[in-house]
Amino acid sequence: MYKIALQVREELGLADFSFMLADLVHYIFMKTKSNATLRRFYIFFEEYFDKKEWRVLLIKLFPAKTYIAEKLKTLFTQFIKEPLAGLVGS
């Protein structure tokens, strides 16, 4: 979140905050466990990574297993859980 604030401040002011704390950004995204917060804000940091690192990061943040599980949960809710809940009330 601190980096997002710096990027916003850079856009609003004259000071150059480009790539401030780049090592920390790399560490956070590449070495820590993937979570919803990283997946939410990853797009703001694309310029901090080269193409190969970016590809590795995307695989780390959005593994196929997680993607498929989330899609199946959405489909289950949309086509089975919600329609059945509507039948129970009638």
Identify the pLDDT of residue 37: 92
Write down the domain spans for the chain.
2-88
pLDDT tens track for 55-67: 899 889 988 877 7
Between helix 51-61 and helix 22-31 the angle, nearest 10°, is 40
Identify the pLDDT of residue 87: 73
Per-10-residue mean pLDDT for the chain, 90 residues long? 67 66 90 92 92 91 81 86 72
CB 6 within 8 A of CB 48: no
